[in-house]
Chains A and B, each alone.
Chain A
Amino acid sequence: MADAQLSPRYIPDRLQGRGARLLKSWEALLVIVAMVIFLGNSLVSPYFLDPWNLSDATFNFTEKAMIAFAMALVIICGEIDLSVASIIALASTAMGYAVQLGFDTPALVAVGLGVSLLCGAINGLLITGLRLPSIVVTIGTMSLFRGLAFIVLGDQAFTGYPSSFSWFGQGYVWWVFSFEFTLFLLLALIYGVLLHRTNFGRTVYAIGNNQTAALFSGVRVGRVKFILFLMTGLMAGLASVCLTSRLGSTRPSIALGWELEVVTMVVLGGVSILGGSGTIPGVVLAALIMGMVTFGFGLLNVPGIVMSIFIGLLLISVIALPILWQRARRHFAH
């Protein structure tokens, strides 16, 4: 792959000072993009600014963003987890199966999270224990986990979740703040602190920048990676609880294709796919942007697949523009 200096976060450093650096940072660019889309949305549709509408809009991204936080850490340390959407499906299937056995809400949540942790542990063991490349391992477990869901479910769907279970996807904590959105904010805070304020976060960056150097400075690389894959598994489980509760049913095709959307969200958030750099605020902003784009297009009755064109263009152009800009400046400086 390309050299580290060509990663999307590499932005020229000619201006000095904290304020200037903040202005030129990736997050600043994302804030501008977000504001433009917000303004655009409120201009094109009079219904956009309604608080209940805005609250509903959060469902477009909260579940994916939960996974994106954990995925950001995995990608920063130089790995990737493509099996997250399949973990959602398998955890959801397990919960559906538990419903048929007569489990109640707390037990259902425990089953969902337990299965997803187990999936994460399997990924982690294969990657760190057998030392296999994560991209191929998780392509394999992606098929495996969803395949297991298909074996249990066939072409059926599980329904009949207890009414108390619906609170996770449909409940409101305070006025228009849904449980999911609150959880999203809470997780953003937790992951922000974990990545930017703890030794653990520092070791994640260290591994992503130079795994060999990290190992020789005493970082337990394998253990850190294992924990990170447990985290993506657990977050997929949380997302599964919320999504299953919101939809009220389980099908084997649930969350199909989400792995790519989650990776898109993380990369759009300024996390270098090559590892070593990226921030949680960036991911939060990317989640908001993707949520607003989806919602705005929804208000305009644009079909989902056309939104995906826009997300694809956004991903490529947001990463290409700083590189082009830097090149143009260098060109005119001479």
Chain B
Amino acid sequence: MMAKLLKHREALLVMAIAVLLALIALRFPAFVAPANLARVFNDTSILIILALGQMAVILTRCIDLSMAANLALCGMVAAMLNTAFPGLPIPLVIVTAMALGALLGMINGTLVWKLAIPPIVVTLGTLTIYRGLIFLLTNGKWINAHEMSVAFKALPRLDIAGVPMLSWLSIAMIALMFVVMSRTSLGRAFYAVGGNPHAAIYTGIDVGRTRFFAYSLSGALAGLSGYLWVSRYAVAYVDIAAGFELDIIAACVIGGISIAGGIGSVAGAVLGALFLGVIKNALPVINISPFAQMAISGTVIIIAVAVNARAERRKGRVILRKAEAV
């Protein structure tokens, strides 16, 4: 029973999070109060949405380093749209941000699909381009809270049944991704392409096009996150979410999504993001200096990778086990 449970990475992660919460609760019982846990979830919502997009990309054996830059560009455009036309309905702003995000994702996807440039190179290039474009758009100027309309800033905080809209949106995205991954042929294709691209071709799956869709999806989610980030923190500037791409990948890796493609789940991505979220929210509470935070999340990533790799290794072809273990 126990051994079976340990094989499921999601169960392992749930236990790890539970242990983590128990340890924090020993010193600060208030941290595990339902209201505070809901706050931690709300705080992690954007990371969850981004991790879901990154998961789709990583499953197809690609990587999207441009996600944070995409987020920043879409967030800035949403903010600019709002300052230029304060009367524009917010849903329209969100749709615009998501469409722009999807478009930027499609650029990545097209370069990977049609020109077959390695994904890490493509997204390394577009990362710097997208972030540079923000500067060209704004000339380095910030858009501050007082320039944004009230409705623009209010939406993520909008309270429905005691839970902010930001949390509801991430729950909606989790549900949506769950359906896509488990109930659609696209979701199956993500796994097939990552698991064995050559076999996928023989089953009639267009590997390049599947990757293109994965990038479009991650782009759209980055666009949505862009609006959410800018409206939540009520400020937009060139450097928002700088370096966040690595947090997103870390969340996926902690969640058991194999960087070699084909292995991973929606639950894993969500739990991985939540694990990072709990740590980030707990450190200030237990009086650990914010300066130690990077070191601790780095250690956590390494440990999580070590645990995950151990679970994955058994799957190699038996004949070459020794070689594959190198």
Number of interface residues, chain B, beta carbon within 8 A: 56
Would A267 and B326 be within 8 Å (CB), given that A136-B305, A323-B117 are in contact?
Answer: no
Q: Interface digits, A154-170 against B, CB 8 Å rule (1 contact, 0 not)?
A: 11000000000000000
Across-interface contacts of B136 in A (CB, < 8 A): 306, 309
Minimum C-beta distance from B12 to chain A (A): 17
Most buried by A among B111, B125, B131, B324: B125
Across-interface contacts of A221 in B (CB, < 8 A): 326
- Is the Cβ of A309 less than 8 Å from the Cβ of B298? no
- Is the Cβ of B323 less than 8 Å from the Cβ of A143? no
Across-interface contacts of A263 in B (CB, < 8 A): 120, 124
How far is B289's CA from A155's CA once the two chains are assembled, in angstroms? 11
A35 adjacent to chain B (CB < 8 Å): no
Q: Interface digits, B293-326 against A, CB 8 Å rule (1 contact, 0 not)?
A: 1111111011001100100010000001001111
Interface residues of A in 177-218 (CB under 8 A from B): 211-212, 215-216
Q: Which of B124, B127, B298, B313 contacts A144 (CB 8 A)?
A: B298
A305 adjacent to chain B (CB < 8 Å): yes
Stretch at the interface among A55-63, A145-153, A227-235, A240-248: A145-153
Q: Which of A139, A150, A256, A316 contacts B292 (CB 8 A)?
A: A150
- Is the Cβ of B294 less than 8 Å from the Cβ of A146? yes
A7 adjacent to chain B (CB < 8 Å): yes
How far is B310's CA from A130's CA once the two chains are assembled, in angstroms? 9
Please, which residue of chain A has its CB at the minimum distance from the CB of B120?
A: A273
How far is B295's CA from A305's CA once the two chains are assembled, in angstroms? 28
Stretch at the interface among B20-28, B182-190, B246-254: B246-254
Across-interface contacts of A144 in B (CB, < 8 A): 294-295, 298-299, 302
A140 adjacent to chain B (CB < 8 Å): yes
- Is the Cβ of B115 less than 8 Å from the Cβ of A274? no
- Is the Cβ of B323 less than 8 Å from the Cβ of A260? no
Across-interface contacts of A311 in B (CB, < 8 A): 128
Across-interface contacts of A24 in B (CB, < 8 A): none
Across-interface contacts of B325 in A (CB, < 8 A): 131
Would A6 and B121 be within 8 Å (CB), given that A306-B135, A308-B128 are in contact?
Answer: no
A324 adjacent to chain B (CB < 8 Å): yes
Minimum C-beta distance from B135 to chain A (A): 4
B122 adjacent to chain A (CB < 8 Å): yes
How far is B305's CA from A150's CA once the two chains are assembled, in angstroms? 23
Residues of A within 8 A of B (CB): 1-3, 6-8, 82, 126, 130-133, 135-137, 139-148, 150-151, 153-155, 211-212, 215-216, 221-222, 252, 256-257, 260, 263-264, 267, 272-274, 303, 305-306, 308-309, 311-313, 315-316, 319-320, 323-324
- Nearest first, the 10 A-B pairs at minimum CB distance are A147-B295, A143-B298, A144-B298, A147-B294, A309-B132, A140-B301, A312-B128, A140-B302, A312-B129, A6-B116
- 24 CB contacts below 8 A, A to B, read A7-B118, A132-B309, A136-B253, A136-B301, A140-B299, A143-B246, A143-B298, A144-B295, A144-B302, A146-B294, A147-B291, A148-B295, A150-B291, A154-B289, A211-B323, A211-B326, A212-B324, A215-B326, A263-B120, A264-B124, A267-B124, A305-B238, A309-B133, A312-B124
